[in-house]
Every structure is written in structure tokens, then in C-alpha cells.
A = this chain, B = another copy of it.
Amino acid sequence: MNDKKYNKDTSQVQHNEIDELRNESNITHRTTSSSLEKILYKQHKVLDHGFVRVIDYMGDDSAIVQAARVSYGKGTKKVSEDTGLIRYLMRHSHSTPFEMCEIKFHIKLPIFIARQWVRHRTANINEYSARYSILDKEFYIPNSSNLGAQSQSNRQGRDSNLTGDEAAEVLGILKNDALQLYGNYEKMMNIKSTGEKINENNLGLSRELARMNLSLNYYTQWYWKIDLHNLLHFLRLRADKHAQLEIREYADVILKMVEEWVPETYKAFIEYQMQGVKLSSTSWQAVKNLINGSLPSHKDMGISKREWDELNDLINN
């Protein structure tokens, strides 16, 4: 990317590039998902400046069936049999057929979210290099409805939102600090947004150093490619209510794309994993007692109060 005009409004250029890609049509013998083709390359907005775009994909529900059967042709039989096979594979954690589908995204996201994301190691990443190029002047400021206070019960969660003066002060700090940092980023590199030098006599600090003065809510972007099995694993953890809200917003968008791409796999995934239930040996014994009409206590069961509460939450919701 040409950093001479790095801060210009490039959105029109980008939209033109995306339209150009969408206007191109090719003939292929490959498995093709007509639903996914409809949204290919398009930007789906997330948070204030982020997005997710599908750039490419390989396979669909039929490719899973085909690989599971190691077949010469399509490998598919009656729709009901294929659906049954996908459900069976999902139920019994047969992961390798789901690895036979692959998808590639272009994602723009705040750095502190990128740091969580990258911990999913079985994926391919090419990130925009701030050693090489200048980062855009874009940073994440939460909606006032997402300004969660520190949770008192869960040390890594958030509770009800800040309000009034406290919320206003926080939003003010986040904005002012981010703007100040970007100004100093430019000043240290000795470069204006027009691409000109600020001070003709200065050398300008290297980009690889100057970037360290930006804060973790600045946006970065990357190409991210992953197989369907590992993508579902990512979604199970990151579309979960324990995940940080900001990454969950990305996961929710991707989950909808998965539904378009592999609808049968999506349904099985929701049924067995997202909304499925895992119980310990002892909790399951307690459930069986309940079915049989006895009313065990957590002490009877030798289970911690915390696990007991978790179990009762499950039963009563």
C-alpha cells in the first residue's frame, strides 16, 4: 500500500476494487456454494471500523461427505443420508472430514482482539506490517452500551455498564489518548498525512519503532485462512458468552457466514456443540437421581457449590 496517501479516504477506492472482483465471473468444475458466492468479497461491518470479508473458500457440505466416504465422485447419496452422516460425524467428534473445507477471510480488527485471535494456532495469517507501512488512523471506541464495569463475581468479565459522568470520562480518555498518540506517531516518523515531511531537518523514526507508541485499540488487518473444523472450534470458544464481547461480535458475523456456506454442518454444530451440554461424571449422576425423583444436594454428591450452581443453571434455563 502506498503510504504517501495513507490517511486519505480510501474507502471509495476499496469499494471499486471489491466491485471489480465481484464483476468477474469464472467457469469452474469445482464445488461451488451459490449462497456464499452472493457475499464473496463484500465487507460485513463489525464494531466501529472493523469488518469481515470472505475472500475465497473450498468445498461445502458435500465435500465433507465425499471425504468421509473417500469417494471417486461426489460421494453424496440421498439428502437425508448425507445429513445423517454429517450429524453422526459431529456427534462422535470425527473431525477430519470437516478439515476438508477451507475458507479465507480478510478481517480488520483492534489489536487487543487480534492478540486473542492469534492464539488459535491452526490457521494461516498474513498481517498488515506496521514495520513496512503506516497504520491507519482508526481506533476502537466502544458504544456507550458496551462500557462494562469490572465484574465483581468473575475476575475476567464485565458487569453492567458505566453510566453518566463516569462513562463520559472514560470515552473522553479513550478518544483523546488515541488521537494524541496518532499525532505523536506522525511526529516521531516526521511525516504528515499528505506524505510530506513535517520538519525538513529531521530523519524520522523508523516505522517499526514508532508503532509501539500506538495503543491496543488501534485497528490492524489480516488475511486469515482456516479449515472448517478449526473454524468451528474457534467459534465455539469465541461466540460463547464467556468470550470478550468484542471478539464475540466477529464470531457472530462469521457464524452467519458458516450458515450460508455449509448449512447442514451449521445445524449439527449448533445442536451438538454450541447448544449441547457437557456434564461431569458426578453431575450426570445427580441428573439421573433427579430423573428418578430423588433430590440430591451438592454435599451428597461430593461436588463443589460452584459446579452445583452451574448444573442448576443448566437445568432451570
Contact = CB atoms under 8 A, between A and B. Distances in A.
B128 A119 contact: no
A184 B177 contact: yes
8 contacts: A28-B28, A31-B56, A70-B223, A149-B205, A159-B203, A166-B199, A277-B279, A284-B314
Contact of A156 (B55, B58, B208): B208
State the oligomeric state as a number of copies.
4
Given A26-B28, A27-B25, A30-B40, A222 B281 contact: no
Interface residues of A, number: 138
A307 interface: yes
Contacts of A73: 14, 16-18, 20-21
Interface in A123-162: 124-129, 131-132, 140, 142, 147-151, 155-160, 162
A253 interface: no
Interface in A84-110: 84, 87, 91-93, 96-97, 99-100, 102, 104, 106, 110
A87 B151 CA distance: 22
Nearest to A129: B156
Contacts of A227: 124, 225
Given A29-B37, A212-B215, A276-B280, A68 B126 contact: yes
Interface in A210-258: 211-217, 221-223, 225, 227, 237, 242, 244
A237 B93 CA distance: 9
Q: Which secondary structure dominates chain A's binding surface? A: mixed
Interface string A60-76: 00010011111111100
Given A206-B149, A209-B148, A70 B170 contact: no
A204 interface: yes
A307 B91 contact: yes
A111 interface: yes
Given A96-B125, A156-B132, A304-B84, A213 B217 contact: yes
A217 B84 CA distance: 34
A168 to B, nearest CB: 12
Contact of A288 (B29, B202, B315): B315
B37 A28 contact: yes
A104 to B, nearest CB: 7
A227 B16 CA distance: 30
Given A97-B126, A99-B225, A205-B150, A72 B271 contact: no
Contacts of A203: 149-150, 159-160, 162, 166
